[in-house]
A and B are shown apart, each in its own frame.
Chain A
Amino acid sequence: DAGITQSPRHKVTETGTPVTLRCHQTENHRYMYWYRQDPGHGLRLIHYSYGVKDTDKGEVSDGYSVSRSKTEDFLLTLESATSSQTSVYFCAISGRERVNNEQFFGPGTRLTVL
C-alpha cells in the first residue's frame, strides 16, 4: 500500500476543539494531498503540498490548515472543528521518480465532530 499511513484512524471530538490529522509516507514522494470524502461528493481536495514547506489550497480549504516540515509528514489541522467537518479524510501521495503521476491513498481517518 505504497508505504503511507494515517493517524489517528478514528476520532470523535466536540465542536470548537482543534484537531490534527497526520499523514506519514516512507516512499519519498514529492506531492502529498489531503482529501475529504462525503456521500454524493466523491473526493474533494482540501490542501496539497509540492515540497517541504510548499503548500497550496484545494477546492474546500476553508476551516483547514496544513503543514509539511519534512518530506515524509503532512499534517492537516482543523483549528476549531465544526459538525460540517465530519467526514472521512484521505491522505494521498504522488510524484515518485519515473512514475510521476500515479497517486496512492492512505487508509483514511474517520472524523466525527459532535
Chain B
Amino acid sequence: GENVEQHPSTLSVQEGDSAVIKCTYSDSASNYFPWYKQELGKRPQLIIDIRSNVGEKKDQRIAVTLNKTAKHFSLHITETQPEDSAVYFCAASIYAGNQFYFGTGTSLTVIP
C-alpha cells in the first residue's frame, strides 16, 4: 500500500517568517494530496489540496507544490502568524479508491 512520510516532525519559526513542510509518497498511482491543520483538541480541517494534474496551488498565504516525478509535495506558509501554530498533516489518495494515507504530522510553532 501507499506510504507517506512527513518532515520535519516539529518546526519553530519566528512570526513573519516562512514555514515549509515536506511529504513524500510511494505509490505513483496517488493523484490527490490534501493538507490538514489540526489545532489542539480539535478535528483536522482541510486547508488546501492539489491534484496530480497541477504543479502548484495557492490560497492567500498558503501554497502547495507537487513534484510527481520525485513523488513529493510540500506545504508553504508565508508571513506566518501565531494562529498558524498547529499540527499539520499531509495525505495521499488514489481517486478511484478513495483511501487516504496520512503522514505522521508536523507540529508548527510560530513564535511572536
Which residues does A use to contact B, with CB under 8 Å? 1, 30-31, 33, 40-45, 48, 50, 58-59, 90, 92, 94-95, 100-108
CA distance A102 to B95 in the complex (A): 10
Interface residues of B in 26-67 (CB under 8 A from A): 32, 34, 36, 42-46, 49, 51
| Size class of the B contact interface (CB-based, 8 Å) | 20 to 34
Partner of B100, one of A41, A45, A50: A45
25 cross-chain CB contacts under 8 A = A30-B98, A33-B100, A42-B103, A43-B89, A43-B102, A44-B102, A45-B99, A45-B101, A48-B98, A48-B99, A59-B1, A92-B100, A94-B100, A101-B34, A101-B93, A102-B46, A102-B49, A103-B91, A103-B93, A103-B100, A104-B46, A105-B36, A105-B43, A106-B43, A108-B43
A12 to chain B, nearest CB (A): 17
**Known contacts A90-B43, A105-B45, then 11 further A-B pairs from the complex at CB < 8 Å, ordered by chain A residue:** A43-B102, A45-B101, A90-B44, A92-B100, A101-B49, A101-B95, A102-B34, A103-B93, A104-B46, A105-B36, A105-B43
Which residues does B use to contact A, with CB under 8 Å? 1, 6, 32, 34, 36, 42-46, 49, 51, 89, 91, 93, 95, 98-105
Measured between beta carbons, the chain A residues less than 8 angstroms from B43 are: 1, 90, 105-108
A36 to chain B, nearest CB (A): 11
A39 to chain B, nearest CB (A): 9
